Structure formats: structure tokens, C-alpha cells
């Protein structure tokens, strides 16, 4: 008696041009027929010879497909009877990671097993693609020599003998990049360092995290600016530290206040951005710098110096970092390559004493075994060729003009409701709006025009400030004019 069966020749399509093997195409098609319910559990499939005849395939191909189905649990062979779809299918219904909303008790209990990092904000509107984004102060990736990095990456990736050598660099980062950074920082920042004193990280934020984790314990105290880089503040608090806020004015952080704090009870750490302070863009005055170095040495005060955009100074020579002076090894220096090239390129570095960096590399290894050493080698090649230095010179010239143009546009569009200073460097303009003016409402109005601008809440972390950073470096002249016109009409 001939077994009545489905028209598999029309249900199973085989594409001989596909890179997927034919036996797997057949198996996948049968799985889809089972999932869709066209073939029920317990259904007897044609013998491999008959199925091969229907599909016009070699029998060994169908046998291989059946064996694949059996291996995955979709198929079972009953001796002397034939091939059947398994009665217990290997299909698992997806389960939610959350607790059923109907069980309020379990829902409340679940929240206590993990740390609440931040309060979740309700989404008030659907996110959509923006025609223009006003960022916090990022470089223009369109002018970065990314093609040279990609070409070098491709070249290195084909040299199979280099891979094992690069892995030996370990968690410190690429030896070539650490060597180039040591030379570059010596020439531009007067840092007397060796490659052994350089730790390469996935961005400056990770460098800050590693350095802080080496120093802070629950109950530690950290001096920070009253308005400060918010992600650093949050990081210190996540590590269990308490923040001691110190006033930042037009000359930078109040060093006399730091001296008074140290005299009363030495804190565990000082976090400072002396050059283009974030978010205010002010620079620590030379007089305060001298006083602060004396405090560091006298009280043996550990310092994380965040110098994320040192190279972008427009009016005169930038002030050398604290780390370039005598500090008895208490200043840890953090910098960013992301700010030089593009925000999506996550590269930063931490500079410290050789033993500190060795220990920091061991800690970093727990979080991030190693970076993309091929990519790090490719960036090192830019330094070695002098292309990174040329890119910096071109960028500084371009960003200075963009700063001037952008400040003129800001004065014309928001001068009646906000104040800002012409920054000496950096990639953003710190703007303070009148206390009664709503930055969040302005952000909403711009969003309706297809322009993203943050709502000002970013800088209100534990302080009441009605300000925002307008990034200008990544905007060309047409984009600035579009934003200026939208600002003027939205204001």
C-alpha cells in the first residue's frame, strides 16, 4: 500500500546557488513546516528514497537531512515502521526575565537582589531618527583619518604570524601604541614616562574607573567640582565613596577650599579636570595650579587628572598638566584618543607609576581581558607616520573657526535668555539659561524640528544648575546655520 503524503516538492524549495548546504536547506524547511503546524507530531515522513525522488535530489542528501533532524530532536526513527516527527518537539516557549506583573510580592522581592544604578525615566515620546544632533562636545568623525586606520587594520589582519605576538601584549594594551603614546605625551605635555607607565583602555571612562577602583573603598571621600563630569561622580558613588563638592569658578576649582578640607581630614581622592573643565570649559589658573601641587605633595593626596581634550586649545599655549610637575607619584593622568578622532572609537589611556600601572592592568584584566590589539596597533601606526599629529593641527585650526562661528550664532539666537563665555579650548560652549527658562521645553520644540538636543537634566546631578553644553566641533557651517535658525524660532 502506497503511503499518502503531502506534496513536498512544492513545500520544500531548494536553492542550488545558496551557500547553505542542500541537506540543511531540506532540514530547515521541514522544521518550519513542523513549527507552522503543517506537519503534526507523530506524522510519518516518506522514506528517504521516496523523498529524494519527489525533490529530485540524491538520496544521500535526504538521508543527511533526516539525520540532522534526528540529531536536533525533531525526528525519531521507529524500527521497521519508518521515520516520524517527534511527539515531544524541541520547541521551548520563550520566558520573560521579569516576574509576572500579577505577582506584586515577587515583583517587589526581585528588585532587591541587584543595585539600582539610576532611576528609570518614563518615555514620553517615541524615539525617531534625527536630522541633526547637538552633542556634548565631540570631534567631527568626517575629518578623521579613519581610512588609514582601516587600511592598516586590514594589512595587519592578513599577517597571521603577528596575531600570537600581539596577544602577548596582554591587558596593558598594544606595546606599539604604549610606546607611541609615551613619546607623544613627552613631546606635547612634558610627561617624563616610559611605555611601562602607560595603560591603554577602551576610552577614558574605563581609565577613570580602573584608577578609582584601585584607590576607593566603601566610605572613601572624593573631592570633585560642584558642577562636574557626571559620569565620574556616579562612578565614585557606585564604588561606595562620598562626594565632597568644591566650588568651580572662572579660574577653575577652589584650591583654598581643597586645602581647608585636607587640613581637617585628608580625603581619599581628588578628581580634577584642570584643562577645559567639564562641563564649564574653564581652565585652572597658573596660581591655583602651583598651590594645588603643593597641597598634593604636602598631604600625599592621590589625584585623578582628567585631561580629555588637552590638544584642543585655541588662544595660546595650553597650560601643562599637573602630571608634568613634581607630584611624588600621586597624580594619575587620564587622556582620550576618542576625543581626537571620533566618539565611536573607544580608546583612552591611564598614566601612573610603573608598579601602579602593572597592578591597574591586572585589575583591568578582570573587567576587560584585552582590547582590540590590532586596532590599537593601527592607531599606533598613525602616530608613527606623523598622521595623528597632522590631523590634530588641522582639527585645531578648523575647530577654532567653528567655535567663533558658533558663538556668533548663539548670541544671535539665545542671547536674550542665556549667557555663555567664549571658550579658550575644547569642543563645546557651556551655556547657562535664565533660571525660569525651561531647557527641556526647548529640547522638545527642537525635537519636533528633527533636531536632538539634551534637555539639561544631564548636569543637574545633585546640584541645581540650568545649563547645557552645546558641542560645536562636529557641526559644519550648514548644520550650524540650520541649528541657529531652529533655535531662534524655538526660543
> pTM (2 decimals)?
0.79
Residue 122 lies in a domain: no
Instruction: Identify whether 189 is part of a domain.
Output: yes
Q: How many Å apart are CA 139 and CA 426, to the nearest integer? A: 10
165 has pLDDT over 80: no
DSSP 313: B
- Segment 128-141 shows an average pLDDT of 90
Q: What is the pLDDT of residue 456?
A: 87
35 lies in the same domain as 71: yes
pLDDT for 96 equals 61
Helix (H, G, I), strand (E, B), or coil: what is residue 112? helix
> Grid coordinates standing for 31?
522544521
CATH number (domain holding residue 206): 3.40.640.10
Look at residue 151 and tell me if it is in a domain: yes
Residues 352 and 419 both lie in one domain? no
267 and 357 together in one domain: yes
What one-character DSSP code corresponds to residue 131? S
The reply to whether 466 and 335 lie within a common domain is no
Instruction: Report yes or no on 415 lying in a domain.
Output: yes
Please give the C-alpha separations between residue 333 and each of 73, 285, 314, in angstroms, as whole numbers.
57, 18, 22
Per-residue pLDDT, 92:
56
Q: Is the CB of residue 321 less than 8 Å from the CB of residue 289?
A: no
Q: How confident is the model at residue 2 (pLDDT cuts 50, 70, 90)?
A: very low
Q: Which pLDDT tens digit goes with each residue over 14-38?
A: 898 888 999 999 999 998 888 888 8
Q: CA neighbours within 13 Å on the CB side: how many for 478?
A: 2
Is residue 224 situated within a structural domain? yes
Residue 423 lies in a domain: yes
Average pLDDT over residues 84-93: 78
Are residue 292 and residue 418 in the same domain, yes or no?
Answer: no
Domain with 19 in it: what CATH number?
A: 1.10.10.10
Average pLDDT over residues 400-427: 95
Band (323; pLDDT cuts 50, 70, 90): very high
3-state secondary structure 240-278: CCEEEEECEECCEECHHHHHHHHHHCCCCEEEECCCCCC
Beta bridge pairs of residue 269 = 222
Relative to beta strand 303-306, strand 331-336 is: parallel
In this prediction, residue 479 carries a pLDDT of 96
CA-to-CA dists, residue 11 to 16, 30, 58, angstroms? 16, 9, 18
Q: How far apart are the C-alpha atoms of 406 and 355, rounded to whole Å?
A: 45
Residues 449 and 443: their CA atoms lie apart, in Å, by 10
Assess if residue 118 is contained within a domain: no
Q: Read off the C-alpha cell for 468.
A: 547645557
Contact assessment for residue 457 and residue 445, using Cβ atoms and an 8 Å cutoff: no
Task: Please check whether residues 355 and 398 belong to one and the same domain.
Answer: no
* End position of a domain, from candidates 386, 419, 454: 386
The Cα 25–Cα 64 span in angstroms is: 11
- The CA distance from 175 to 181, in Å, is 10
pLDDT, one tens digit per residue, over 285-312 is 999 999 999 999 999 999 999 999 999 9
Q: Do 208 and 63 fall into the same domain?
A: no
Residues 153 and 297 grouped into a single domain: yes
Query: Distance between CA 223 and CA 254 in Å, rounded?
Result: 11
Highest mean pLDDT among 31-40, 159-168, 434-443: 434-443
Answer yes or no: is pLDDT of 195 > 90: yes
Rounded to 10 degrees, what is the CA torsion of 285, 288, 290, 296? -130
Q: At 410, which CATH number?
A: 3.90.1150.10
CB of 377 within 8 A of CB of 177?
yes
Contact residues for 158 (Cβ-Cβ < 8 A; gap 6+):
none
Q: Any idea which residue has 523523498 for its cell?
A: 51
Q: Is the pLDDT of residue 99 over 70?
A: no
Helix (H, G, I), strand (E, B) or coil at 305: strand
Does residue 184 form part of some domain?
A: yes
Q: What is the pLDDT of residues 442-485, one digit of tens each?
A: 999 999 999 999 998 888 777 788 999 999 999 999 999 999 99
CB 23 within 8 A of CB 58: no
Closest-CA residue to 441 (of 488, 481, 490)? 490
Q: What is the pLDDT of residues 100-126, one digit of tens each?
A: 555 555 555 555 666 777 776 665 555
The three cell numbers locating residue 116? 539600582
Q: Output the nine-digit C-alpha cell for 219.
A: 566610605
- Nearest residue to 149 (alpha-carbon basis) of 4, 323, 337: 337
- The mean pLDDT value of the chain amounts to 89
How large is the average pLDDT for residues 370-399? Answer: 93
247 pLDDT band (50/70/90 cuts)? very high
List the one residue out of 264, 209, 202, 257 whose CA is nearest residue 233.
209
Q: Are residues 256 and 192 in the same domain?
A: yes
The C-alpha cell 536553492 sits at: 15
Cβ atoms of 420 and 410 closer than 8 Å: yes
Q: How far is CA 219 from the centre of its chain?
A: 28
Assess whether 378 and 418 both reside in one domain: no
Half-sphere exposure of residue 142, counting CA atoms within 13 Å on the CB side? 7
Neighbours of 119 (CB within 10 A): 5
Distance CA 343, CA 217 (A): 31
Last residue of a domain, one of 341, 363, 386: 386
- pLDDT, tens only, 34-51: 888 888 888 888 988 989
Residue at a domain's end among 386, 419, 453: 386
Q: Tell me how many domains the chain contains.
A: 3
Residues 333-372 have pLDDT tens digits of 999 999 999 988 999 999 999 999 999 999 999 988 878 8
**Which domain range does residue 32 map to?**
8-85
Lowest mean pLDDT among 45-59, 160-174, 274-288, 336-350: 160-174
Query: Same structural domain for residues 249 and 302?
Result: yes
Residue whose entry in the numeric block shows the C-alpha cell 575647530:
399
Lowest mean pLDDT among 36-45, 69-78, 99-108, 212-221: 99-108
What's the rounded Cα separation, in Å, for the pair 346 and 185? 19
How many angstroms separate the first and last alpha carbons of the chain?
84
Q: What is the mean pLDDT of residues 213-239?
A: 96
Contacts of 140 (CB under 8 A, 6+ apart): 395, 398, 473, 474, 475, 476
Between 396 and 111, the higher pLDDT residue: 396
Stretch (H or E) spanning 53: helix 48-55
- Based on the fold, state whether residues 331 and 441 are members of the same structural domain: no
> Which residue in 293, 223, 237, 233 sits closest to 265, CA to CA?
223
- Phi and psi at residue 445, in whole multiples of 5°? -65, -40
Amino acid at each position: 500500500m502506497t503511503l499518502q503524503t503531502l506534496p513536498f516538492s512544492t513545500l520544500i524549495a531548494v536553492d542550488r546557488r545558496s551557500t547553505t548546504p542542500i541537506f540543511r536547506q531540506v532540514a530547515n524547511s521541514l522544521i518550519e513546516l513542523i513549527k507552522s503546524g503543517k506537519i503534526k507530531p507523530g506524522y510519518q515522513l516518506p522514506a528517504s528514497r521516496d523523498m529524494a525522488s519527489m525533490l529530485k535530489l540524491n538520496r544521500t542528501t535526504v538521508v543527511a537531512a533526516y539525520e540532522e533532524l534526528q540529531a536536533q530532536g525533531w525526528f525519531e526513527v521507529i524500527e521497521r515502521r519508518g521515520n516520524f516527527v517527534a511527539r515531544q518537539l524541541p520547541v521551548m516557549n520563550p520566558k520573560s526575565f521579569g516576574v509576572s506583573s500579577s505577582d506584586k510580592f515577587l515583583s517587589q522581592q526581585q528588585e532587591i537582589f541587584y543595585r539600582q544604578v539610576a532611576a528609570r525615566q518614563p518615555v514620553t515620546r517615541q524615539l525617531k531618527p534625527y536630522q541633526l544632533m547637538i552633542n556634548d562636545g565631540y570631534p567631527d568623525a568626517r575629518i578623521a583619518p579613519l581610512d588609514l586606520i582601516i587600511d592598516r587594520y586590514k594589512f595587519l589582519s592578513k599577517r597571521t604570524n603577528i596575531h600570537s605576538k600581539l596577544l602577548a601584549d596582554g591587558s596593558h594594551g598594544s606595546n606599539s601604541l604604549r610606546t607611541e603614546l609615551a613619546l607623544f605625551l613627552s613631546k606635547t605635555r612634558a610627561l617624563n614616562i616610559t611605555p611601562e607607565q602607560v595603560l591603554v583602555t577602551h576610552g577614558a571612562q574605563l581609565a577613570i574607573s580602573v584608577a578609582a577602583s584601585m584607590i576607593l573603598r566603601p566610605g572613601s571621600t572624593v573631592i570633585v567640582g560642584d558642577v562636574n563630569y557626571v559620569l565620574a561622580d556616579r562612578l565614585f558613588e557606585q564604588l561606595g565613596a562620598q562626594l565632597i563638592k568644591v566650588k568651580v569658578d572662572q579660574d577653575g576649582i577652589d584650591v583654598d577650599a581643597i586645602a581647608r578640607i585636607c587640613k581637617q581630614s585628608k580625603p581619599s581622592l581628588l578628581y580634577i579636570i584642570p584643562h577645559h573643565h567639564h562641563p564649564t570649559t574653564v581652565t585652572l589658573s597658573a596660581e591655583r595650579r602651583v598651590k594645588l601641587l603643593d597641597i598634593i605633595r604636602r598631604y600625599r593626596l592621590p589625584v585623578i587628572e582628567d585631561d580629555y581634550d588637552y590638544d584642543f586649545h585655541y588662544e595660546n599655549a595650553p597650560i601643562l598638566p599637573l602630571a608634568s610637575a613634581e607630584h611624588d607619584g600621586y597624580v594619575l593622568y587620564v587622556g582620550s584618543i576618542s576625543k581626537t578622532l571620533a566618539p565611536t572609537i573607544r580608546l583612552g589611556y591611564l598614566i601612573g607609576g610603573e608598579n601602579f600601572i602593572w597592578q591597574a592592568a591586572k585589575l583591568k584584566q578582570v573587567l576587560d581581558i584585552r582590547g582590540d590589539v590590532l586596532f590599537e596597533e593601527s592607531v599606533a601606526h598613525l602616530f608613527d607616520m606623523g598622521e595623528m599629529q597632522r590631523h590634530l593641527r588641522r582639527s585645531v585650526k578648523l575647530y577654532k573657526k567653528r567655535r567663533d562661528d558658533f558663538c556668533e550664532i548663539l548670541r544671535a539666537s539665545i542671547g536674550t535668555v542665556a549667557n555663555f563665555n567664549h571658550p579658550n579650548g575644547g569642543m563645546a560652549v557651556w551655556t547657562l539659561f535664565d533660571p525660569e527658562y525651561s531647557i527641556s521645553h526647548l529640547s522638545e520644540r527642537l525635537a519636533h524640528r528633527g533636531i536632538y538636543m539634551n534637555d539639561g537634566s544631564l548636569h543637574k546631578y545633585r546640584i541645581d544648575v540650568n545649563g547645557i553644553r552645546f558641542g560645536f566641533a562636529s557641526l559644519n557651517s550648514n548644520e550650524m546655520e540650520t541649528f541657529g535658525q531652529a533655535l531662534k524660532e524655538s526660543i
